[in-house]
């Protein structure tokens, strides 16, 4: 029973780390639909918790970087499982552009090898 309690405490602590991280942390489906955005990400992108699933990743990419995301980031992410580099996000409420350094990676199902979801951790480079 102690092991279960310890495991649950570890899970809770990891959830708090993700929620309170100063970096944007995002989870998206293989087709790019956002399913999770931590507090810093919600503030950066102007998306409240109850609206996250209404947005895809491309909705928050600045116009200047959309081609890069479609022609470079997504193909590399699908082929190699990870991508990192400079991007610009657009706050959907204010249209403010935010320069970030993004690290994106695929999380795959251990049995099938299929992508379960993509994760993105982005740091504001102009703070």
For residues 56 and 89, give the distance between their C-alpha atoms in angstroms, rounded to a whole number: 12
Q: Which CATH architecture has domain 22-124?
A: 2-Layer Sandwich (3.30)
Task: Give the bridge partners for 97, in sequence order.
Answer: 90
Which of 102, 81, 96, 108 minimizes the C-alpha distance to 46? 96
**More confident call, 103 vs 7:** 103
CB count within 10 Å of CB 4 equals 8
**pLDDT of 106 higher than 70:** yes
**pLDDT of 22 higher than 70:** yes
Q: What average pLDDT score do residues 26-43 get?
A: 96
The mean-pLDDT minimum among 4-8, 45-49, 61-65, 97-101 falls in 4-8
pTM of the model: 0.88
Q: Given pLDDT bands bounded at 50, 70 and 90, which one contains residue 15? A: confident
All residues at 6 or more sequence positions from 70 whose CB lies less than 8 Å from its CB, including other chains: 58
The number of C-alpha atoms within 13 Å of 40 and in the hemisphere containing its C-beta is 19
Contact 107/118 with Cβ under 8 angstroms?
Answer: yes
């Amino acid at each position: 029973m102690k092991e279960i309690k310890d495991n649950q405490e570890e899970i809770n602590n990891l959830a708090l780390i993700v929620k309170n991280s100063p970096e944007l942390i995002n989870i998206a489906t293989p087709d790019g639909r956002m399913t999770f955005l931590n507090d810093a990400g919600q503030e950066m992108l102007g998306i409240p918790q109850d609206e996250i699933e209404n947005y895809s990743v491309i909705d928050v990419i600045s116009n200047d970087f959309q081609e890069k995301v479609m022609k470079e980031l997504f193909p590399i992410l699908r082929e190699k499982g990870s991508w990192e580099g400079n991007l610009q996000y657009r706050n959907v409420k204010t249209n403010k552009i935010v320069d970030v350094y993004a690290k994106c990676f695929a999380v795959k199902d251990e049995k099938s090898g299929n992508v379960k979801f993509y994760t993105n951790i982005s740091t504001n480079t102009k703070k």
